[in-house]
Amino acid sequence: MGVQGKSASTQRLADQTEFRGNGKINRKVAIGAVAGLAVLATVLGVAIGVPLSKRQADNTDGSTSLQRARDILSNNPLIDGHNDLPWQYKKQANNSVESIDLEQSLKGIWSPTHTDIPRLREGRVGAQFWAAYVPCDSQYKDAVRLSFEQCDTVRRFVKKFPDTFQFVTSAQEIEDAFAAGKIGSMIGLEGGHSIDSSLATLRMFYDVGVRYMTVTHSCNTPWADNWLEDEKPLAEQEFGGLSAFGELVILEMNRLGMLVDLSHVSKATMEDALRVTKAPVIYSHTSAYTICNHYRNVQDDVLQLTKENNGVVMVNFYDKYINCPPGNTTNATLSQVADHIDHIKDLIGADYVGIGADYDGVATLPQGLEDVSTYPEMFAELIDRGWTDEDLIKLAGGNLLRVFRAAEEVSKQMAADGVPPYEELIDESTLKNKSCRWEGY
């Protein structure tokens, strides 16, 4: 989300929030420097740095770490939790799918651009949650319409490139698409403001293929607190987590089989959702607070609750959530992202961590993770840190598949138990803006 059109509270934190506007990432100098060093190292016969030399070193089977990473991702689906390509279609092409050839590089056509089919293939992406995002300023206005347009954009670009993409709505369909050589494509609804406090609207989004909803974006809904509330004492936060209606939203998502996404929400909302939900949760694009003390990240005590819930934290690559106190440096690096992944693994185990890079939703990224082609480099780094193939397969997508299947089983059980759709309406007195609502309905 770009600076333009932000609310005041979000704009003052523009340097710390995701970017979905028209910025530039100029990498020519950096790429040239790295290339020059590589040539020099070849001539002199010396390593140009520990990470590169390690990845060039042979493993016990004679392969390099990068080759091993590529092999793992070629045989097991890498499922990324969050990519904002649909928003780039909105911002840069007015949702015109027909005018954009994703089979060609978008470098130099869209700026910034992190995603196209050649780079998805190079990055060994096996499945992707495409984010249906609309700005918080659309709340109480046309958020529902704009969100359905984003869903439509996803459905249309997936249909346009059938040799690459396959629209999927279940864990099994992800695996089936991967077996067919396709990138399984799903929709994640990024922000509870998109349903306009309506459980019926939530159900309609499920029917068009939405398989997770982020409970809030960087604004409160009329029933849940977002992460910016953590700047205040808990007693001063609007709801102190979820309202009673917010708890019903979580339960209706469980009944549908829609994943509950706790990225962007306040700590109290995380805790409330983990208390209420009957199914494992996800954090589609969130990192570790202990490594970078930013309220968009997950704190250790909540990580422990997430383990008890059997959920998964899909680590974000945005440099402002990766590189900040207490361990900040001049520039964010791939190694720092690996530190976040390692922290979650070391604290609660390899069964509870995944990847949610946030490509095309942020302006700046760590060195070495500039676009969707770079996932194998991350996995090579983890191989150099001693990760086993089994744990890397869990990180890539195994954990997300487990959580997805568990949510599907909860939905089936609720249906078997005769749980009907939740029909409660939100108390209109809790709405801050009624100007766009018909009083007679």
User: What number is the average pLDDT over the span 336-360?
Assistant: 98
In a shared domain, residues 44 and 174: no
Q: Helix, strand, or coil here: 287?
A: coil
pLDDT band at 440 (very low <50, low <70, confident <90, very high): low
Q: What is the structure's pLDDT at 437?
A: 76
Please report the pLDDT score of residue 218 as a whole number.
98
Confidence of residue 129 (pLDDT cuts 50, 70, 90): very high
β 282-283/312-315 pair status: parallel
Q: Residue 410 belongs to a domain with what CATH number?
A: 3.20.20.140
Q: Rounded CA gap, 59 and 54, in Å?
A: 10
What's the confidence (pLDDT) of residue 24?
32
Task: Say if residue 278 is in the same domain as residue 246.
Answer: yes
Considering the domain boundaries, does residue 441 fall inside one? no
For residue 18, what pLDDT is reported? 58
Per the structure, how many domains does the chain have? Answer: 2
Query: Catalytic residue numbers?
Result: 82, 84, 190, 217, 264, 285, 358
Q: Report CA Rg, the chain.
A: 21
Question: Does residue 337 lie in a domain region?
Answer: yes
Instruction: Say if residue 189 is in the same domain as residue 118.
Output: yes
Q: How confident is the model at residue 243 (pLDDT cuts 50, 70, 90)?
A: very high
- Overall residue count recorded for the chain in this entry: 441
* pLDDT attached to residue 436: 75
User: Could you tell me if residue 365 is inside a domain?
Assistant: yes
Confidence at residue 60, expressed as pLDDT on a 0 to 100 scale: 57
CB 129, CB 82: distance < 8 Å = yes
Residue 62 pLDDT class (50, 70, 90 cuts): low
Determine if the peptide bond prior to 280 is cis (ω within 30°). Answer: no
Residues 251 and 136 in one domain: yes
Of the pLDDT bands very low, low, confident and very high (cuts 50, 70, 90), residue 31 is: very low
pLDDT above 90: residue 142:
yes
116 within some domain? yes
**Residue where the block lists tokens 């499922």:** 79
For 359, the token pair is: 């490509």
Q: Are residues 34 and 110 in the same domain?
A: no
Residues 353-386 pLDDT 10s: 999 999 999 999 999 999 999 999 999 999 999 9
Question: Beta strand 282-283 with 210-214: parallel, antiparallel or unpaired?
Answer: unpaired
As a whole number of angstroms, the distance between CA 185 and CA 348 comes to 29
CA–CA dist 190, 360 (Å, integer): 14
- In this structure, is residue 64 part of a structural domain? yes
One-letter amino acid at 373 equals S
In angstroms, rounded to a whole number, what is the distance separating the alpha carbons of residues 424 and 185? 32
Same domain? 33 vs 88 = no
Q: What are phi and psi of 250, to 5 degrees?
A: -60, -45
The answer to whether residue 37 scores a pLDDT higher than 60 is: no
Residue 162 domain-assigned? yes
Which residues form the domain of 330?
A: 58-429
pLDDT > 50? residue 325: yes
Looking at the structure, tell me whether residues 325 and 354 fall in a common domain.
Answer: yes
Domain boundary among 38, 56, 74: 56
Residue 418 has pLDDT above 50, yes or no: yes
pTM: 0.88
